Structure 1
Amino acid sequence: MRTEQDLDAGLKSPSKRVLNWLPTRMRWNSIYRKLFITYLALTALGTSFLAAYILWSFHGYFMRSRQADINTWANALSESVAEALAEDDLARATVTVQRYGQSEAVTLRIFNPQGRLLATSAPDQDRQVLNWLEVPGIAAALQKRATQGVAKGVLSNDDRLYSTVPIIRNGEFLGVLRMSITLEQFQRQFRNVALTVLGTLALTVVLCALISEWLARNMARPIQAMRNFAIQIGSGHLGEELSIQQADELGQLATELNRMSKRLASLDKERRAFLASVSHELRTPVSNVLVTVEALKSGASEEPELRDRFIQTVEDETKRLARLIHDLLDLGRLEAGVAPLEQQPVNLRDLVNRAVRAVESRMQSKGIGIQMDVANMQSQGDPERLLQAFMNILDNAIKHSIPDTQVFVVGRSQNGEAIVTIRDQGPGISEAALPHIFEQFYTADPSRQGSGTGLGLAIARRIVEAHQGTITAISPPGKGATFRIKLPCTNPAALAKANGVAE
């Protein structure tokens, strides 16, 4: 039994150098690399999108929260300033601006309805501004529209969040209040958060890369082992077994590869045995013919009786060789599936009668009788091929029957099948030989040897199987051999009255 590690190392020897074997992780075109990159890319892409979404959500939430706070503060301060402006108490408005404004973090400004600066929390800076209408939000607020947003500082490049509201009391427009706060602290905090998220993302990618490497290796290892195993099979090393214990599609594929390897090994063994048997069977008649011809050339032709016997031998061996070649061709066509089979209704009783008539003279010459009891059964198939199958079985029964015995042929239909049973009263088949009698050239049991080619039963089985049927043999000790042929019955309803099957 081959393990995955055995298969990885099995083809490294010079005699099995099929591929340039490198470690799996170094083969850049390997399935390991593809799986690893796919897992890692999907992980990196997913975590990157998640990190970007978290940062975007955090930034948006903070900006909305701060904007809502500054709007609340701006509206509240505008109420307080409106009371002071309504009483022309600019000093009190200035105190309010100075109290709540900070020169850098929070800036408060109050403008009159004409856009002139009345009070500011950053007087030193604001003296340099010449046109306040260019400051974001001022022009809109002078039109009695509250505005908000993010803009650069009045005289700096730092980002600031602002809110500009009109100051109105009792329906009278008294001016504009603009409040802005710096975002530097938030941006610094956001950078720290972003760095933390990115660091977490990098750590996650590293961890996912390790997990992806483990998953890809575990996924690629059995695939690589199966590839190596398939290469070994292609190189002719059959009969090995792949050890992959997984309850998934890869495990099922490994099971099928093992089954294929065993089947190919069995077929290769049968092929070698077949070739050896064919060579032996062909060599015997050819050798006999050559020996006889040499004897005739050496002077045996001068004696009429000896010459006639030698010529008869040549004729017999030539016929035997012709039968063998014919049977081999038939068997080859049937196994290759290139022998065309006609599809037409076949009356099995008539077909069995034809087969019996064809071998009747041989039976009489050996003193063998026959008893027939075949019901009227209909099947579908090639009548000539089926006739050949029945004749081969009958021929086998005749060859191995004892003189003055009977051959019994019985046919019945049962459960939609036509069953024809042929039983002889010969010595029977040994228990050891019974599983092999349908193999080509099998003659291991001396009691079943005859003068044929040894292919008749093999051909009969191929013909029956080509008609979606089965053929089996049983042989109780000392009670002859019984062959049972089952074929699909095309008219079971018409034959429902037929009962029983011959044993």
Structure 2
Amino acid sequence: MGWLSSIKWNSIHTKLLVTYWMLTAIGTSLMSGYILWSCYNYFIETRQADLENWSGALAESVADALEEEDLDRVDVIMQRYGAPEAITLRILDVNGQLIATSSPELDSQIENWLEVSGVNEALQNQVDQGLTKGLLSNDDRLYISRPISRNGQMLGVLRMSITLEQLQNQFANIIWTVLGALFLTVLLCTLISEWLARSLSRPIQTMQAFAIRLGSGHFGDRLTIRQSNELDQLAIELNRMSQRLESLDQERRSFLADVSHELRTPISNVQLTVEALRSGADAEPDLRDRFFQTVEDEIKRLSQLVYDLLDLGRLEAGVTSLENRAIALPNLIERAVRAMETRLKALEIRIQQNVANLQIQGDPERLLQALLNILDNAIKHSQPNSQIAITGQREGKQIVIKISDQGTGIRERDLPRIFEQFYTADPSRKGSSTGLGLAIAKRIIEAHGGNITANSIFGHGTTVTIGLPLQKSGHEESLSKVEV
């Protein structure tokens, strides 16, 4: 019995196999039992019908002989039609006394015929039939007792019985044949059930092992299930999840590496500056002031980096609460331009606005932050005495804002990554930027149900396109053109 202990009774394979086997066994057993019961009843009913027909015909022949008081003829009828071993015929008079029988040796042992099944009923002019035991044996017999009458006068009783031993022997052979066929059917169904259970449980077990590996951090694995059903679709979704987890894991690793790098540089600068001051650099006023300015700049950079990281984390986690109110698009653009006015004048960069009088729905401060980050990036990459164009128009069910500069542009290989954290297409021009501005802008726009894209021709400038849901207004659209 050691093999029983090795079976995983709670496994899907075992449960499916047992379920299939039980359903097959119960179904075939019920069907076989019903068929056998129906056949047995059919045979019994057929025999009873035969007894009724035979006894009716014999009763007429015996009635003729009794009416003529010809008992020898009655004996001849009994011996002729009661000759088969399975059939027994008896004729009794109106007082229940035996007149003739096809089995005289056996019947001589019966003392009271009124106690025999069906005799009393027949003496009361009723036909009675049924199943009973033999008079002096334990074998099952079908019997029929019917009155013998002629012209309304009862002449006696005919009792006819037939043994079921031969029928039962034949039926026993049928039962064993059905049981053998049932066993083969159950065996065959067990093999088919085993195949079906394995075909269903094997991919589930494979997916279970795959999920366990995913949980342990093996995100690069791929799952292959060759079945054209729901399991195949589930495998596809698991592979998509694995790819997404792998991508997120790579992004996490890259993000941690970038954060470490971004934090290491200003911290190292501050540390070196402090060590220089401690070593006596504070003796020269100009050098000391320059070192203090370096420490202040690096601390501001660290502070801005930490603020941007917290802001980006809140946006990605969806825990930042956003206002939801109508905003006039020209006013929002004007606020962003005014905030950058000092830098624009210092670099002699002009702003060309072409903004329709439209309403958008959202958080004005967050949307202003996104526009400032995009404008800051455009100004940093623009040449002095150049122009930045800002347009805002309705396109379908969206408001599309475009911010175009005349800077150096972005290479095609770098364009898909400019909205990633800490990514800089030209590291030499990064300056004091944290590298999170465009990433934060992207999260803000997406939080408002919008989208942001960029296209560029290297050497001819870059255009950032923002799409935001339209807030319908009762005012007609008008253009606001301003040049700074």
Q: Quick check: 1:388–1:460 contact (8 Å CA) kept in 2?
A: yes
Q: Quick check: 1:441–1:453 contact (8 Å CA) kept in 2?
A: yes
Separation (CA, whole Å) in 1 of partners of 2:327 and 2:156: 112
CA positional deviation for 1:348: 2.3
Separation (CA, whole Å) in 1 of partners of 2:124 and 2:365: 108
Among candidates 153, 171, 182, match of residue 134 of structure 2:
153
1:207 alignment counterpart: 188
Does residue 99 in structure 1 map to residue 80 in structure 2? Answer: yes
1:257 alignment counterpart: 238
Report the secondary structure of 1:113's partner residue. Answer: coil
1:48 alignment counterpart: 29
Among candidates 336, 343, 346, match of residue 355 of structure 1:
336
Give the alignment's TM-score, normalised by structure 2: 0.95
- Judged with a 3 Å threshold, the aligned counterparts in structure 2 of structure 1 residues 178 and 475 are, in CA distance, closer, same or farther, namely same
Among candidates 306, 311, 329, match of residue 310 of structure 2:
329
Does residue 279 in structure 1 map to residue 260 in structure 2? Answer: yes
5+ residue gaps, structure 1, are 1-21, 499-503
Q: Which amino acid aligns with 1:271?
A: R
Q: Quick check: 1:32–1:220 contact (8 Å CA) kept in 2?
A: yes
- Judged with a 3 Å threshold, the aligned counterparts in structure 2 of structure 1 residues 457 and 55 are, in CA distance, closer, same or farther, namely same
Separation (CA, whole Å) in 2 of partners of 1:184 and 1:274: 91
Separation (CA, whole Å) in 1 of partners of 2:140 and 2:123: 23
Does residue 345 in structure 1 map to residue 326 in structure 2? Answer: yes
Matches within 5 A, 1:297-336: 297-336=278-317
- Judged with a 3 Å threshold, the aligned counterparts in structure 2 of structure 1 residues 492 and 102 are, in CA distance, closer, same or farther, namely farther
- Judged with a 3 Å threshold, the aligned counterparts in structure 2 of structure 1 residues 197 and 493 are, in CA distance, closer, same or farther, namely farther
Report the secondary structure of 1:475's partner residue. Answer: strand
Matches within 5 A, 1:386-465: 386-446=367-427, 449-465=430-446
Separation (CA, whole Å) in 2 of partners of 1:134 and 1:497: 118
- Judged with a 3 Å threshold, the aligned counterparts in structure 2 of structure 1 residues 495 and 421 are, in CA distance, closer, same or farther, namely farther
- Judged with a 3 Å threshold, the aligned counterparts in structure 2 of structure 1 residues 142 and 34 are, in CA distance, closer, same or farther, namely same
Separation (CA, whole Å) in 1 of partners of 2:429 and 2:159: 117
Does residue 372 in structure 1 map to residue 353 in structure 2? Answer: yes
| Deviation readout 1:259-309 (Å, 9 max, x if unpaired) | 111110110000000000000000111111111111111112222111111
Report the secondary structure of 1:425's partner residue. Answer: coil
Q: Quick check: 2:356–2:478 contact (8 Å CA) kept in 1?
A: no
Report the secondary structure of 2:109's partner residue. Answer: coil
Matches within 5 A, 1:26-175: 26-102=7-83, 104-175=85-156
CA positional deviation for 1:431: 0.5
Q: Quick check: 2:329–2:359 contact (8 Å CA) kept in 1?
A: yes
Separation (CA, whole Å) in 2 of partners of 1:493 and 1:253: 49
Q: Which amino acid aligns with 1:73?
A: W
Q: Which amino acid aligns with 2:341?
A: E
1:5 alignment counterpart: none
CA positional deviation for 1:497: 8.4
Separation (CA, whole Å) in 2 of partners of 1:112 and 1:445: 129
> What is the root-mean-square deviation of aligned Cα atoms in Å?
1.7
- Judged with a 3 Å threshold, the aligned counterparts in structure 2 of structure 1 residues 416 and 496 are, in CA distance, closer, same or farther, namely farther
Does residue 230 in structure 1 map to residue 230 in structure 2? Answer: no
Report the secondary structure of 1:489's partner residue. Answer: strand
- Judged with a 3 Å threshold, the aligned counterparts in structure 2 of structure 1 residues 227 and 464 are, in CA distance, closer, same or farther, namely same
Matches within 5 A, 1:485-500: 485-491=466-472
CA positional deviation for 1:198: 0.2
Separation (CA, whole Å) in 1 of partners of 2:379 and 2:301: 18
CA positional deviation for 1:474: 0.2
Q: Quick check: 2:410–2:425 contact (8 Å CA) kept in 1?
A: no
CA positional deviation for 1:496: 7.6
Report the secondary structure of 1:341's partner residue. Answer: coil
Q: Quick check: 1:347–1:376 contact (8 Å CA) kept in 2?
A: yes
1:295 alignment counterpart: 276
Give the alignment's TM-score, normalised by structure 1: 0.91
Separation (CA, whole Å) in 2 of partners of 1:83 and 1:139: 23
- Judged with a 3 Å threshold, the aligned counterparts in structure 2 of structure 1 residues 396 and 309 are, in CA distance, closer, same or farther, namely same
Separation (CA, whole Å) in 1 of partners of 2:124 and 2:229: 73
CA positional deviation for 1:342: 2.0
- Please identify, of 229-238 and 294-303, the stretch whose mean Cα deviation from structure 2 is larger: 294-303
Does residue 198 in structure 1 map to residue 156 in structure 2? Answer: no
